[in-house]
Amino acid sequence: MSRGLAAGILAGGRARRLGGIDKPRIAIDGRTIFARQLDVLAPRVDEVLVAIAPGAAPLAVPPRWHDRVRFVVDDVADAG
């Protein structure tokens, strides 16, 4: 049943405060922060939009959420 809801994950930053470490790909106990975010959001919404920087490689989406995740490019780079 469709709820008509979407969630957004902002994943296009430069991670300056972490020295450029790609935060969504950081693993904690074997699972990335991005996978953990999807596990919380995807069951509750129809679609998860993930904003990435121009030219960035999409993040790995766990197979169970492939049908709920869409990557979009942030047209305004480095605007915070």
- Can you give the pTM of this predicted structure? 0.82
Task: Indicate the pLDDT class of residue 2, thresholds 50, 70 and 90.
Answer: low
* Domains of the chain: total: 1
Q: What is the pLDDT of residues 24-79, one digit of tens each?
A: 888 999 999 999 999 999 999 999 999 998 888 888 898 989 999 999 998 876 66
- Tell me if 1 is assigned to some domain: no
- Tell me if 80 is assigned to some domain: no
Can you give the residue range of the structural domain that contains 48? 6-73
Top pLDDT among 46 and 18 is at: 46
Mean pLDDT of the 8-13 span: 85
* Burial tier of 21 (Cβ tally within 10 Å: 0-12, 13-18, 19+): exposed
Q: What is the pLDDT of residues 41-52, one digit of tens each?
A: 999 999 999 999
